[in-house]
Amino acid sequence: MSPAPAPNTALALAAAIRAGERSAVDVLDEHLARIEAAEPEIHAFNVVNAEAARPVAEAVDRRVADGEDPGALAGVPLALKDNLCTRGVPTTCSSKILEGWVPPYDATVVERLLASGAVVVGKTNLDEFAMGSSTENSAFGPTRNPVDTSRVPGGSSGGSAAAVAAGFAPISLGSDTGGSIRQPAALCGVVGVKPTYGLVSRYGLIAFASSLDQIGPFATTVADAALLLEVIAGHDPADATSIPQDVPAISDHLDDGVAGLRVGLVSELMGEGIHPDVAARVREAADALAAAGATVEEVSVPAVTYGLSAYYLIAPAEASSNLARFDGVRYGLRVDGATTNEMMVNTRTAGFGDEVKRRIMLGTYALSAGYYDAFYGKAQKVRTLICRDFAAAYERFDVLLSPTSPTTAFELGAIHDPLTMYLNDICTIPTNLAGHAAMSVPFGTGAHGLPVGVQVLAPALGEVPMFQAAAAIEAAAPTSEEASS
């Protein structure tokens, strides 16, 4: 039997509000007070939605008073990454080119959250157009890690991770194209989930790389992450890549344990480039799973070593196509010029930051005549190799284990070289290329007492065993006192 959820988890808050033991308005006010006190230092949000959130919380309380069930997330404060379209609320992707743009519709995940009774408190900061690993690339300034405000929260969903870590909201949503949920979750010491590609609708997510992007949850606990994933997942006719089947009942299996579960420790992701403290925590998590009854062995997935190279051809190629729509004609920023072409050049020059421009140019080059086969075509072949190597590993194992990030959180401004920054995603990118599921679970601390995340990987639609392993790792994680001793 699982212990009762802590009083500030999404599960506990929703249960208390549905039972009439707590008011959704009071819960909202508590979280808004925390935001007011610490947000100036953290900068997790691009916009705090206090005025719009209050009527939603009041409506939840009225439904409870009328004997109705407002939904699984009744009255739970929630933060949204600012690349998810939200009707009537500015949605900027942390870019000057979309500054002040207000979508006329909600993303499918936002509709599902509102239907479940969740209360959206704001839109969170991110690396511009989700391109980055530190949330330093935002046009509106960096987000700081609540664990140590001299350090980055990770990226690109750093604002969403920081909002949960700082207690601004018990749950939030991010997007993960190459690790943008899992890596900041690891650096901020929270749970982050990249679901199977197609399990969660991408309708209303402003695209970076359409074959890689996936929306997923941040939470303080594995159980909260499971609940949030169950709310947002499921088929959506508006998304052609949405998987047409029922959502697995993940929460029903969190207490099943890991006896008999086959766990593979990915040897290629445990060596060079991984900080010794991080590797040590991952091995301790593997030992904890073995002690809980799982079978744990090392496994080789050779092609994952090519993941970074393949990703930085495929993702920029898709980005160069997706971001062509920001041209000063239809919406967003417009900087006038003497001709249409000059207007477009002026708009994109002023509107996009350096990292976005870098990736657009790289992607356009990789797709250009004479280079397509040598770069983009070859990268897609490597992607197939990665899928095959994962498939071979999953014939022997139910889930795989690795670090989430090769290091703990680094200091703001510490990394200036783009290639060095890209190495932060070396452990997370292969899962996106394969379209599989993966999640990060906090497990102790490493250098400077900063959080370490252990990554649990699973095959497509393998969320149930992935969450079972995650729950066992969470249960065995050292307490803050143990970690610091």
Contact, 393 vs 400, CB < 8 A?
yes
Q: Is 440 a catalytic residue?
A: no
Q: Is 94 a catalytic residue?
A: no
Q: Which of 94, 116, 156, 175 is catalytic?
A: 156
Burial letters for 409-433: b for 16+ Cβ neighbours within 10 Å, e otherwise?
A: bbebeebeeeeebbbbbbbbbbbbb
Single-letter amino acid, residue 103: P
The greatest distance separating any two alpha carbons of the chain, rounded to the nearest whole angstrom, comes to 70
How far apart, in whole angstroms, are the C-alpha atoms of residue 145 and residue 153?
4
Instruction: Spell out the residues 6+ positions from residue 17 whose beta carbon is closer than 8 angstroms to its own.
Output: 23, 24, 27, 60, 61, 64, 70, 74, 75, 76
Q: Is 480 a catalytic residue?
A: no
- Residue 338 has a CB neighbour count (10 Å cut-off) of 8
Is 117 exposed, middle or buried (CB count within 10 Å of its CB: 0-12, 13-18, 19+)? buried
Q: Which of 180, 201, 402, 440 is catalytic?
A: 180
Helices and strands: H and E segment counts in the chain: 16, 11
Q: Which of 23, 81, 172, 320 is catalytic?
A: 81
Among 313, 337, 317, 318, which Cα is nearest to 327's?
A: 337
How far apart, in whole angstroms, are the C-alpha atoms of residue 372 and residue 355?
22
Contact, 195 vs 470, CB < 8 A?
no
Cα 76 to chain centroid distance, Å, stands at 19
The pair of structure tokens assigned to 213 is 């992007």
- Sheet containing 77-81, strands listed edge to edge, beginning at the edge strand earlier in sequence: 45-48, 119-124, 77-81, 171-175, 215-219, 191-194, 437-445, 451-458, 399-403, 262-266, 295-299
What Cα–Cα distance (Å) separates residue 82 from each residue in 128, 143, 348? Answer: 10, 13, 20
How far apart, in whole angstroms, are the C-alpha atoms of residue 297 and residue 470?
17
Contact, 440 vs 390, CB < 8 A?
no
Helix (H) or strand (E) holding 10: helix 10-18
> Which sequence positions are flagged as catalytic?
81, 156, 180
